[in-house]
Amino acid sequence: QVQLVESGGGSVQAGGSLRLSCAASGYTHNPYCMGWFRQAPGKEREGVAIILDYGATTYADSVKGRFTISRDNAKNTLYLQMNGLKPEDTAMYYCAADPRLPLFTPLKADNYKSWGRGTQVTVSS
């Protein structure tokens, strides 16, 4: 059974940094695509960044230049380095994997079948 477990969330001041991790288990192979999504209260879940198994990445415009997604295939772990955090980055951050293929819209949450429970990120001004 596939399981995704996020960690690394917390509270920081604007301009600070956090590194999120997502440990994946239950896979017999490296997941083709893994990603980070976030959901703020009263808002829809939105894509932050995704990474394919060979390293290609896609970022939301709102985080380009500030966030970096990476993965360690040997450890089956996904990361999100978040620098220059802003109050508008405050949200529950979720790890996702196993998109339905073909994947035309990689940052659309509805495409993904496997989800973690999330880790809270709070950025104060």
HEC assignment per residue over 70-125: EEECCCCEEEEEECCCCHHHCEEEEEEEEECCCCCCCCCHHHEEEECCCEEEEEEC
Bond before 102 cis per omega within 30 degrees: yes
pLDDT in tens, 78-115: 999 999 999 999 999 999 999 988 888 999 999 999 99
Q: 23 in helix, strand or coil? A: strand
- Distance CA(10)–CA(32), nearest Å, equals 28
Radius of gyration, CA atoms only, the chain: 13
Model confidence at 122: pLDDT above 90: yes
Model confidence at 65: pLDDT above 90: yes
pLDDT in tens, 11-55: 999 999 999 999 999 998 889 999 999 999 999 999 999 999 999
* 3-state DSSP helix/strand/coil % of the chain, to nearest 5: 5, 50, 45
Model confidence at 60: pLDDT above 90: yes
* Mean pLDDT on 59-67: 98
State residue 30's pLDDT score. 86
